[in-house]
């Protein structure tokens, strides 16, 4: 099987995730400075990082000179990312900002995974001391926060009071 055939076969359906994420807020300027491991379908294939100065994310395949070489798997991941639907992103952060459709690539996909990771970490922090819920009318990334520690009795009162309740996020982490 040629390298191209292996890449095409591996890129059919993937489950990428970031593990061992370390964010360096003090180094972040134009982008988020971070290091992480890229895992695809349960296999550690690359180290990813960004120095926080606005450049692209770096993807470094694993190689040890003793037979370990994940270059094909990283290339399959890149091809898989390019096959994902384009994303609509804000051009700037000002009110009434314009949006643009951007073709998906590995750099953007990793940035979106990192953004999702940061959001999940924030939710976990909130859930330690507050009760966090989502309603049907909420936009993605929008939550309602009660300044009360989650407990089953309080959760039941919320369910009784909020007919459009989608989820009590604290229950993800029980």
CA–CA distance, 86 with 84 (Å, rounded to integer): 7
> Does the pLDDT value for residue 4 go beyond 80?
no
Q: What percent of the chain has pLDDT over 70?
A: 89
CA–CA distance, 54 with 108 (Å, rounded to integer): 13
> Does the pLDDT value for residue 134 go beyond 80?
yes
> Does the pLDDT value for residue 166 go beyond 80?
yes
> Does the pLDDT value for residue 58 go beyond 60?
yes
CB 118 within 8 A of CB 126: no
Average of per-residue pLDDT across 33-49: 95
pTM, entire model: 0.78
The pair of structure tokens assigned to 126 is: 């909130």
Which residues sit opposite 126 in a β-bridge? Answer: none
What pLDDT is recorded for position 94?
A: 58
Average of per-residue pLDDT across 35-39: 96
């Amino acid at each position: 099987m040629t390298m191209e055939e292996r890449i095409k076969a591996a890129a059919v359906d993937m489950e990428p995730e970031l593990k061992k994420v370390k964010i360096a807020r003090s180094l972040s300027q134009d982008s988020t400075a971070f290091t992480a491991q890229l895992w695809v379908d349960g296999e550690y294939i690359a180290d990813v990082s960004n120095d926080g100065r606005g450049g692209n994310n770096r993807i470094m395949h694993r190689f040890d000179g003793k037979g370990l070489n994940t270059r094909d798997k990283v290339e399959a991941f890149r091809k898989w990312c390019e096959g994902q639907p384009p994303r609509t992103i804000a051009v700037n952060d000002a009110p009434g900002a314009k949006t643009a459709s951007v073709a998906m690539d590995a750099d953007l996909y990793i940035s979106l995974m990192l953004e999702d990771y940061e959001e999940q970490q924030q939710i976990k922090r909130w859930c330690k001391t507050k009760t966090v819920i989502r309603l049907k009318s909420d936009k993605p990334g929008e939550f309602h926060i009660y300044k009360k520690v989650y407990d089953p009795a309080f959760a039941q009162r919320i369910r009784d009071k909020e007919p459009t309740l989608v989820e009590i996020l604290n229950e993800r982490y029980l």
